[in-house]
Amino acid sequence: MRQFVSGNLNYSSWSIRPLLVSRKVGLPVEEVVVPLDFPETTAQLKAISPTAKVPLLRWDGIEIWESLAIAEFIAEWAPPGEVWPLDPERRATARAVCSEMHAGFQAIRSACPMDIRGREAAPEMTPALEADIKRLQTIWSGLRETHGSGGPFLFGAWSAADAFYTPVVTRFRTYGLPLTGAAADYAAAVLEDPLFRTLEAQAELEPWWIKYGPDGRSSGYLKP
């Protein structure tokens, strides 16, 4: 069995990172969505995933959880240069910025949950959120300047680094957050890329929605 299990594409930022990598290289997998935040979600995830989380790649008896590990598995499957840059410095830097994304940016992640089809007012600009935005601006504009020749992405040609930052790019659009210069151009390129446009169209059509209660807890529902 070869299955890529994700959460709703509209909301599950961790799922879409390796999913974009999978789609980019044409990994032969069946894509399955487990809608998040419904009463049955936890039981469904516990039945298939060691962490009760998505994404999960099920590949001929191997189970790979954690978005970064899935991206690395796909990189080993794909021809060199398709997931990570071929150049060793660019490849190491791409891995560093993916790890930084995976381990950090707590403020923007919690203040601005990914909602690809949503358009919301900007949240209160706390010092922590401001610091995350400043760091993203620096990473994106810096990489474009240093490594971006040869294409519109962080390392010129598309790489897993772009997959890892795509959910953050969508947050800038959803919440109208400030971005300037080369970083803004980069964000526009990600949103125009056919790989993202296809995923966005699917997210638009998903029947599952998530709302947040006054206690901040999220719950899934189907729109009547």
Restricted to residues 196-215, the positions that interact with ligand GSH (CB under 6 A) are none
Question: Do 203 and 116 form a contact (C-beta atoms < 8 A)?
Answer: yes
User: Exactly one of 55, 85, 167, 220 binds ligand GSH (CB under 6 A); which one?
Assistant: 55
End-to-end distance of the chain based on CA atoms, in angstroms? 35
Q: Using the rule CB under 6 A, is 72 a contact of ligand GSH?
A: no
- Cα torsion angle, 75, 76, 80, 86, sign: positive
Strand order in the sheet with 2-6: 30-33, 2-6, 56-59, 62-65
Q: Return the number of other C-beta atoms located less than 10 Å from residue 58's C-beta.
A: 19
User: Exactly one of 54, 101, 139, 183 binds ligand GSH (CB under 6 A); which one?
Assistant: 54
For ligand GSH, the closer of residues 68 and 189 by Cβ is: 68
Q: Using the rule CB under 6 A, is 41 a contact of ligand GSH?
A: yes
**Shortest distance, position 216 Cβ to ligand GSH, whole Å:** 14
Let me know if 43 is exposed, middle or buried by CB neighbors in 10 A (0-12, 13-18, 19+): exposed
Residues binding ligand GSH: what is the number (CB under 6 A)? Answer: 16
Question: Distance between CA 123 and CA 113 in Å, rounded?
Answer: 11
User: Exactly one of 64, 66, 139, 165 binds ligand GSH (CB under 6 A); which one?
Assistant: 66
Q: Using the rule CB under 6 A, is 220 a contact of ligand GSH?
A: no
Q: Return the number of other C-beta atoms located less than 10 Å from residue 69's C-beta.
A: 13
Q: Using the rule CB under 6 A, is 29 a contact of ligand GSH?
A: no
State the Rg of the chain over Cα: 17
> Amino acid letter at 207?
P
User: Exactly one of 10, 22, 67, 141 binds ligand GSH (CB under 6 A); which one?
Assistant: 67
Restricted to residues 92-151, the positions that interact with ligand GSH (CB under 6 A) are 102
Which chain residues interact with ligand GSH by CB under 6 A?
7, 12-15, 36-37, 41-42, 45, 53-55, 66-67, 102
